Amino acid sequence: MNHQEQVAAIRLGKDSVFDAWIYSMLMDNNLAYVLNPHLIASQEQLSFMVQLEPGQIYLPCSDATFHMLGSSSPALQKAYNRVWRTLVGIIQQAELNPIDRHRLFQFLRIRFRQYTAQKTLLPSRLMKRITDLIFYQSFSPIPDPWQKARRDALQEDQQRSADATIAHIVNAVDPKTLPATIDALRTTLHHLELVRLLVLTVLAHQKAEDLAISFNRALTQAHDILPLFTPSPHQSKTILVLPDADGSTFFEILTIQALLRMGHKVIYAVKHAPFFLSPILADFDCDPLLESLCKKAFVVSALSLGKNALLAHLKTHQWLIIDDGTRERLNLYRVSVTFARAWKEADIILAHGWRAKDMFLETSHSFTRDIVVFWNEGTIFRIQHRPHAKACHKFAEADIVRQAETLIGSMRKAHRENRRVMFFSCIVGSIPGETKQAIELATVFVNHLRKQMDNMLIINPAEHFVPGMDGDDLMYMWERVQRSGEIDIWRFQSTTDIEQSFALLGRTVPPIWSGKDATYSTGCTKEMKIALDVQEKNPEMQIIGPDPKRFFRRGEYGVGKYVDAQFQR
């Protein structure tokens, strides 16, 4: 690998030696999906967040860190050594007797040497792995060493914000700089408040006079970024806020409250378990100050929230707090399904801290959402916008609903014309590698039915694929159509239908399709559950196809897939 080459430009399949090293390195970092599919994000889930082309590789780090791996660069060892010094500090401050402390040091030294010997472990993954050992080894486990520090930081920042001098500077406005119209004034005040709270988040301990200077400089820096946060008259934005691990949670929450006042929806993604001074989900149940600050928030503890459930929460609540599923620096391979879906539904990612800068700004990879990162370099406030990938198109709920309503409208029109409506549920993507064939079979069969049946509108999902939509989007769209009450006949693809489809194509049935029917489809299984539910409300609706009892051996989709999670490997 050319060590000057951008990581995003690298493609697998060109160099077998490099490919082997990549696979080995992913295994060393426990980022290989096929080895641990219940912990590692699939390519489909990763594609919610990172814009990837076939053969591209991705690592949750900067290009510079990637290039250090596997090389003889002294910088990598220095990064490892910084991890070790951090661990030493944790152990030295822990309440351990001398024997346990010495034993733990020796144990960690052995593991540290083993982990770093191959020079393929990301420093962030090394930190996660070693702290796991500190917290969970059996002979002298150390409880959360940062809990008190998190509470103290929260209280100190509350007191700091209440200081009369600081409060005056934060709220002061020069009337000469204000616009003349109400709308412009409202926008200006929102922008002033947002910028000042971002500055306080990273520079809260500056002197009052220095803060005033930082506010003015930050406003200039953020001038071209602030329009991203200007609320639309017709639609609020959804902003996913990623905290830092520096203990500035109080001002992060004040920033969120400012975004809420602007009319936006906010998702605050906190850690699953201790990671320095980053807020964790458990804090919101046991820290009275944090609870009082977040009274308006709805806490979502589920790690694998479905699209429908997440959208329902966003409709009901303006502010969600979710669990990102990790206790390490943001690692998109290891985040929870809930986090991945929150990212997918967001319009803007607002990320705080130098770790976020390394993750989002120092990589050549592109991401699927606009990302705004803010951090400090010493006493200087920095903010930068990384636009979403040009090739990425977000299917907002409104887009998906519009697609569904168009179909529902055609069904209602058919009923006004005294035509009946049939919905055809068929295998589309549940047989790996056969999606194109499945669409062809469904299309030829439905066209045959249309010739055979008079005065009938037949809805064939295979004819309504929207490029770029994943399984989550499509199922959300189709469920709206299916629950519309406009279906008279719901036909599920049978073995006979498939055999007839191949006959219409002038072909025999290949082994992979032999004996298949709608019961082999995860999507059809979900649709059968919907069909039975709809039939209870509309007994006149007819269900045709395999016995419903044969469907329910299937479970749930893999995230972003069209294949049952338990069969996708």
Q: Is residue 567 part of a domain?
A: no
pLDDT the model gives residue 450 = 96
Encode pLDDT of 111-167 as tens digits: 999 999 989 999 999 999 999 998 887 777 888 999 999 999 999 999 999 999 999
The two structure tokens encoding residue 367: 């991401």
pLDDT the model gives residue 213 = 95
Considering the domain architecture, whether residues 377 and 403 belong to the same structural domain is answered as: no
Q: Is residue 423 part of a domain?
A: yes
Considering the domain architecture, whether residues 174 and 80 belong to the same structural domain is answered as: no
**Residue 416 burial class via C-beta count within 10 angstroms: exposed 0-12, middle 13-18, buried 19 and up:** exposed
Report the pLDDT averaged over residues 75-92.
94
Encode pLDDT of 505-528 as tens digits: 999 999 999 999 999 888 898 899
Considering the domain architecture, whether residues 109 and 152 belong to the same structural domain is answered as: no
User: Cα separation of 211 and 115, whole Å?
Assistant: 43
Q: Is the pLDDT of residue 485 over 50?
A: yes
Q: Is residue 486 part of a domain?
A: yes
Q: Is the pLDDT of residue 480 over 60?
A: yes
Q: Is residue 565 part of a domain?
A: no
Encode pLDDT of 430-446 as tens digits: 787 788 899 999 999 99
pLDDT the model gives residue 569 = 36
Boundary of a domain, candidates 359, 386, 413: 386
Boundary of a domain, candidates 109, 136, 163: 136
Q: Is residue 392 part of a domain?
A: no
CB atoms within 10 A of CB 488: 18
Considering the domain architecture, whether residues 519 and 479 belong to the same structural domain is answered as: yes
Considering the domain architecture, whether residues 381 and 308 belong to the same structural domain is answered as: yes
* pLDDT band of 554, cuts 50, 70, 90: low
Q: Is the pLDDT of residue 566 over 50?
A: no
552 vs 381, which has greater pLDDT? 381
Percent share of the chain, pLDDT over 90: 78
Considering the domain architecture, whether residues 328 and 213 belong to the same structural domain is answered as: yes
Q: Is residue 355 part of a domain?
A: yes
Encode pLDDT of 46-81 as tens digits: 999 999 998 899 999 999 999 998 777 899 999 999
* pLDDT band of 4, cuts 50, 70, 90: low
* pLDDT band of 38, cuts 50, 70, 90: confident
Q: Is the pLDDT of residue 233 over 50?
A: yes
Considering the domain architecture, whether residues 120 and 240 belong to the same structural domain is answered as: no
> Alpha carbon of 314 to those of 307, 310, 400: distances in Å?
11, 6, 16
Considering the domain architecture, whether residues 123 and 201 belong to the same structural domain is answered as: no
Domain that holds residue 524: 397-550
* pLDDT band of 567, cuts 50, 70, 90: very low
Report the pLDDT averaged over residues 329-348.
96
> Alpha carbon of 558 to those of 75, 554, 564, 569: distances in Å?
39, 12, 6, 10
214 vs 429, which has greater pLDDT? 214
Encode pLDDT of 381-423 as tens digits: 999 999 999 988 888 788 889 999 999 999 999 999 999 999 9
Considering the domain architecture, whether residues 157 and 64 belong to the same structural domain is answered as: no
**Under DSSP, is residue 227 helix (H, G, I), strand (E, B) or coil?**
helix
Report the pLDDT averaged over residues 218-229.
96
Considering the domain architecture, whether residues 297 and 414 belong to the same structural domain is answered as: no
> Alpha carbon of 185 to those of 173, 178, 198, 209: distances in Å?
11, 6, 20, 25
The sheet with strand 420-425 has its strands ordered as 456-459, 420-425, 489-492, 542-544
Percent share of the chain, pLDDT over 70: 96
Considering the domain architecture, whether residues 274 and 335 belong to the same structural domain is answered as: yes
Total domains in the chain come to 3
Considering the domain architecture, whether residues 132 and 161 belong to the same structural domain is answered as: no
pLDDT the model gives residue 568 = 42
- Looking at residue 190, which CATH number applies to its domain? 3.40.50.10880
Considering the chain, what is the average pLDDT of its residues? 91
Boundary of a domain, candidates 360, 386, 412: 386
Q: Is residue 186 part of a domain?
A: yes
Q: Is residue 564 part of a domain?
A: no
Query: Under 8 Å CB-to-CB from 355, ≥6 apart: which residues?
Result: 244, 245, 329, 330
Which of 24-33, 388-397, 560-569 holds the top average pLDDT?
24-33
**Under DSSP, is residue 367 helix (H, G, I), strand (E, B) or coil?**
strand
> pTM for the whole thing?
0.86
CB atoms within 10 A of CB 16: 9
User: Cα separation of 545 and 279, whole Å?
Assistant: 52
pLDDT the model gives residue 332 = 97
Of 501, 431, 499, 432, nearest to 460 by C-alpha is: 501
* pLDDT band of 3, cuts 50, 70, 90: low
Secondary structure letter of residue 181 according to DSSP: S
Q: Specify the amino acid at residue 178.
A: L
